[in-house]
Amino acid sequence: MLTKRIEKELNDQINAEFYSAYLYLSMAAFFESINLKGFANWVYIQFQEEQSHAMLTYNYINERGSSVTLSSIEAPPSKWDGPVHIFEEILKHEQEVTCMINKLISTSMEEKDHASVNFLQWFVSEQVEEESGVSDILQQLKMIDGKGAGLLMLDRELKQRVFVQPAASAT
Judged against a pLDDT cut of 70, whether residue 169 lies above it is answered with no
Assess whether pLDDT exceeds 80 at residue 168.
no
Would you say the pTM of this structure is higher than 0.85? yes
What is the rounded CA–CA span in Å between residue 123 and residue 17?
Answer: 11
CA Rg value for the chain: 17
Confidence (pLDDT) at 171? 43
Q: What is the mean pLDDT of the chain?
A: 96
Confirm if 131 and 94 have CB atoms less than 8 A apart: yes
Give the start-to-end residue ranges of the domains of the chain: 4-161
Cα(39)–Cα(146) distance, integer angstroms: 12
Mean of the pLDDT values across residues 68-95?
A: 97
Query: What band does 167 get if pLDDT is binned at 50, 70 and 90?
Result: confident
Q: Which is nearest to 27 in space by CA: 77, 74, 75, 73?
A: 77
Distance (Å) of CA 88 to CA 97, 114, 135, 136, 137: 14, 35, 8, 11, 10
DSSP 81: S
Q: How many helices (H) and strands (E) does the chain have?
A: 5, 0
Query: Any residues with CB less than 8 A from the CB of 66 and at least 6 apart, and which?
Result: 1, 2, 7, 10
Which pLDDT value is given to residue 166? 86
Rounded mean pLDDT, 140-165: 96
Give me the pLDDT at residue 170, please.
42
Q: Tens digit of pLDDT for each residue in 34-62? A: 999 999 999 999 999 999 999 999 999 99
Q: What is the CATH number of domain 4-161?
A: 1.20.1260.10
